[in-house]
Every structure is written in structure tokens, then in C-alpha cells.
């Protein structure tokens, strides 16, 4: 039987050139999060299925996750998102931890999907959460981190937009303000989420169809459409201007502006999918007209940890996936040319293996990454090997070189050759 060399459907192998991109992404994520005082945590990829069942969504578990029974007849699920897990960890040490708690993680997540562009079965996602802050300074900091990360990747404010809204406000608009019932609100929320993806007339017709004659007569549809037509917070009807979440959004947007985040704006159509959000939510969109889609987002989900029987905590978090981010970076030509971590390939002339190993040990001690040829092939072939591996420099090592301590370093990109001793190599290769 001949085995297949393909990875499991909907997943990716990371050959060194792919892993290099991933390490670059993860490195920027880590650096920016840690610069804001966030600490990394992690947890096992298998969780008891109960963790995802808290809202009774057995159907989603059955259809969209990797769930199976272990040999002890316990149902386990490969994690589909990190929020339930981080809530579990915080709840487990609710009393001992020091708040505000700033945590981040870069888990791989699994979903049973029909593989398609940007939707894989396994992807990685940066998760950033702050626990214990009830004011908008929490949202402010997380959006600053988003801005910091995008800036570190070279993205400018024109390339993407951070759109903010409040779930609490929208619930208020749909229920108290416009007067829709619970079941209608659910349908309307889903419809609003797709408003920008359909002709406006079609949207209005659909809202009309959801409303009852009495509601239409009461002006419920008009009220909702007026709210939805607001382009900025100031466009909202006067009687909604003083709603608490709207005031918070004003404070937040003004603080972001002061701190130099110029691409954040109110967008009344931003709803975010997850049920657990309780107030302000945000979502980032690529401004590239060819890829004008949601890239990542987050929001406030106060109280989720109470599922574990502990006191609730104000919490804000966001997630940013590797697949959509990579598409954004490629689309805007922001992915740098990543070269091999190996600074030089030691090409050997004659039987100098032990001497070359000693020289390599010396270079490594001085902090250089060097690979010694073990192919035993001709010098020209050794050059080709280095080139194929994307290593920029070849260092020629023969008996004479080892005796004199003078080595020829050739840059394969520029073709430049230098005669250098070990000290000189340290300078040239660091």
C-alpha cells in the first residue's frame, strides 16, 4: 500500500518557507501584545464537549466541530474558539489572579467546514483578553493593540477600518425603541448583519415582511430604518443620543482619535456573531475593494465566567486569525521577503569535516547560525544546495583556510566576495 503525502483535507502543512511566514506573524503578535503587558497562556486542544454546550447548541456541535468519545466514554471536542477555554482558566483561579488581567494566546482551532478560500478546518488565532475592567479603557487598550499590530505589519490607516457598535444599544433599539418581539429581533439582527451585502430596497422589503401590520402602523420599521441610516453617532435620533452605550462609544472614539487611531468609526450594522457579547463590539474590515470583508473582531462579554459558578468579571477580548490576516498582508503587498534563519552555508573543500565543525562551533558561540555541508559533493554543487535553501552566504572552508584563519565569504545574492577572519565573519554575518 502506498501512503498519500497529502495533509488531512482542509488543513495545511508548513514546510520551512511556510513556517517562516507563520513565525513572522506570531512574532509580531507576541511582540506587540507583550509591549502592552499581556502575558501568554495556553491550554490543551481537547476540551470536554460540555464547555461548548453551555448555550444548548448541540446542533452546531454535531455539525461543525470535531467531537468524539474517548475510551472512557467522555465526549471531547477539539477547540473551535478560545473564549470558553480562557474563561475556564480564569474561573479556575478567580480569587488568586491579579486584575486587570491581561492575557493572550495563539491557539490552533478546529472546525468541520467544507474547505474554501479563507475557511480551513484548522487555523491559528491570536486571542487577546482583558479581565476586570468595566470602563471603556479596556476597549480602548484592545483597539490600541489592534492598531499596534497592524502598524507593526506595515499597514496604514487607509488600508483597513475598525468599525464599532454596541450590542446592548442594538438590543434596545430593536426591543424598547422600535418595539419588536424576541423572535423578530433574532431575525432582524441577522438581517442587519447582511445589510451591506444586499440592495437597500430588498433589505427594506425584508424588514417589512418581518414586522406585523400593527408594528408597521406604529412606525417600528421607520424607526429602525432611521437608526440604520446613521453614518455617525451624531446622525442618531436625539432621543437615542443619551443612551449609555452611545455615550461610551463617543468617549471611546474620541480617546482613540487622541491616541492617533484615525481609522475607527461607528457602524450601526456591525453585529458580530457570538451570543456572548454584551455591549460594545468591534470588527475590522479590509479596505481593499477586491477583498472588502471582515478580517477580525471582538467585544465585551461580561459575565461569561459565571458559567463555572464563580463571580462574573467584566471582560473584553478579540481574536485575529492567521488565514484572513495573511490574505490582507498579501493583498496590500505587506509580507516581507523572509530569508532563511541560516546566515551562512559552510562549503567544504577536501576532507576538512572536523576542522569545519570546530569553526562552526566557534561561529555558533558568537551567535551565528551556520550549516556545515555534509553532502561531500563538488564545490559548485554545494553552492547550489545553499541557494536552493535560500541561504544568503556561502563560506568556503579548505585546509588552507583553516590553517591561515582567512575565509572567503560569498554573498549569493549580490555576488560580492570578502576575505575575512572569524572576527570579520562575526561582523559580516550578524
Q: What are residue 83's phi and psi, to 5 degrees?
A: -60, -45
- Distance, CA of 334 to CA of 181 (rounded, Å): 47
Strand-strand pairing, 67-69 and 75-78: antiparallel
Q: Which of 340, 401, 407, 410 binds a second copy (CB under 8 A)?
A: 340
**Nearer Cβ to a second copy (41/274):** 41
CB of 50 to a second copy, least distance (A): 6
Calculate ∠ Cα 158-160-162, nearest 5°. 115
Q: Which of residues 152-181 bind a second copy (CB under 8 A)?
A: none
CB of 127 to a second copy, least distance (A): 13
Site string for a second copy, 21-50 (x = CB under 8 A): -xx----------xxxxxxxxxxxxxxx-x
Site string for a second copy, 307-336 (x = CB under 8 A): xxx---------------------------
CB 305 within 8 A of CB 342: no
Q: Which of residues 111-130 bind a second copy (CB under 8 A)?
A: 112, 122, 130
Cis peptide before 100 (omega within 30 of 0): yes
Q: Which of 233, 371, 402, 428 binds a second copy (CB under 8 A)?
A: 371
Q: Counting contacts by CB under 8 A, is residue 200 touching a second copy?
A: no
Q: Measure Cα distances from 127 to 57, 174, 261, 319, 407 in Å.
A: 23, 30, 21, 4, 48
CB of 307 to a second copy, least distance (A): 5
| Count of residues interacting with a second copy (CB under 8 A) | 103
Q: Which of residues 130-149 bind a second copy (CB under 8 A)?
A: 130, 132-133, 135, 137-138, 140-141, 144, 148
CB of 15 to a second copy, least distance (A): 6
Calculate ∠ Cα 251-276-162, nearest 5°. 40
The conformation of residue 304, written as its DSSP 8-state character, comes to G
Q: Which of residues 93-112 bind a second copy (CB under 8 A)?
A: 93, 98-100, 102-103, 108, 110, 112
Burial (CB < 10 A; 0-12, 13-18, 19+), residue 10, is middle
Which span sits near a second copy by CB under 8 A: 182-190, 193-201, 237-245, 357-365? 357-365
Site string for a second copy, 245-284 (x = CB under 8 A): ----------x--xxx------------------------
CB of 176 to a second copy, least distance (A): 31
Q: Counting contacts by CB under 8 A, is residue 5 touching a second copy?
A: yes
**Residue 212 C-alpha from the chain's centroid:** 42
Would you tell me how many other CB atoms lie within 10 Å of the CB of residue 409? 18
Residue 197 Ramachandran class (φ > 0 left, ψ -120 to 50 alpha, else beta): alpha
Q: Counting contacts by CB under 8 A, is residue 361 touching a second copy?
A: yes
Amino acid at each position: 500500500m502506498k501512503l498519500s503525502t497529502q495533509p488531512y483535507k482542509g488543513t495545511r502543512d508548513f514546510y520551512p518557507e511556510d513556517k517562516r511566514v507563520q513565525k513572522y506573524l506570531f512574532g509580531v503578535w507576541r511582540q506587540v501584545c507583550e509591549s502592552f503587558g499581556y502575558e501568554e497562556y495556553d491550554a490543551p486542544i481537547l476540551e470536554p464537549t460540555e464547555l461548548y454546550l453551555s448555550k444548548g447548541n448541540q446542533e452546531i456541535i454535531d455539525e461543525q466541530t470535531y467531537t468524539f468519545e474517548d475510551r472512557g466514554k467522555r465526549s471531547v471536542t477539539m477547540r473551535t474558539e478560545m473564549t470558553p477555554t480562557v474563561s475556564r482558566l480564569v474561573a479556575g483561579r478567580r480569587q488568586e489572579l491579579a486584575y486587570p488581567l491581561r492575557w493572550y494566546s495563539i491557539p490552533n482551532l478546529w472546525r468541520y467546514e467544507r474547505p474554501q478560500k479563507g475557511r480551513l478546518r484548522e487555523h491559528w488565532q491570536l486571542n487577546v483578553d482583558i479581565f476586570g475592567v468595566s470602563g471603556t479603557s479596556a476597549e480602548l487598550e484592545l483597539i490600541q493593540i489592534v492598531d499596534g499590530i497592524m502598524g507593526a505589519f506595515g499597514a496604514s490607516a487607509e488600508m483597513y477600518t475598525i468599525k464599532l457598535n454596541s450590542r446592548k444599544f442594538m438590543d434596545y433599539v430593536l426591543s424598547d425603541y422600535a418595539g419588536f418581539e424576541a423572535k423578530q429581533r433574532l431575525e432582524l439582527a441577522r438581517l442587519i448583519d447582511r445589510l451591506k451585502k444586499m440592495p437597500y430596497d430588498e433589505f427594506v422589503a425584508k424588514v417589512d415582511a418581518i414586522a406585523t401590520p400593527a408594528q408597521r402602523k406604529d412606525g417600528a420599521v421607520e424607526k429602525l430604518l432611521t437608526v440604520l441610516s446613521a453614518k455617525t453617532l451624531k446622525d442618531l435620533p436625539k432621543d437615542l443620543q443619551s443612551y449609555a452605550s452611545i455615550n461610551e462609544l463617543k468617549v471611546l472614539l474620541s480617546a482613540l482619535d487622541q491616541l492617533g487611531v484615525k481609522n475607527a468609526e461607528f457602524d450601526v450594522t456591525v453585529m458580530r456573531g457570538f451570543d456572548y457579547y454584551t455591549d460594545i463590539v468591534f470588527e475590522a474590515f479590509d479596505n481593499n475593494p477586491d477583498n472588502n470583508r471582515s478580517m477580525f473582531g471582538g467585544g465585551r462579554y461580561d459575565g461569561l465566567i459565571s458559567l463555572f459558578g464563580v463571580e462574573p468579571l467584566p471582560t473584553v477580548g478579540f481574536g485575529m486569525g492567521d488565514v484572513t490576516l495573511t490574505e490582507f498582508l498579501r493583498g496590500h503587498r505587506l509580507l516581507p521577503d523572509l530569508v532563511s534563519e541560516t546566515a551562512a552555508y559552510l562549503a567544504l573543500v577536501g576532507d576538512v569535516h572536523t576542522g569545519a565543525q570546530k569553526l562552526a562551533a566557534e561561529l555558533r558561540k558568537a551567535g551565528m547560525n551556520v550549516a556545515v555541508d555534509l553532502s561531500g559533493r563538488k564545490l559548485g554543487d554545494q553552492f547550489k544546495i545553499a541557494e536552493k535553501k535560500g541561504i544568503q552566504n556561502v563560506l568556503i572552508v579548505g585546509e588552507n583556510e583553516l590553517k591561515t584563519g582567512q575565509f572567503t565569504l560569498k554573498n549569493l545574492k549580490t555576488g560580492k566576495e570578502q576575505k575575512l577572519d572569524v572576527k570579520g565573519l562575526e561582523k559580516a554575518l550578524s
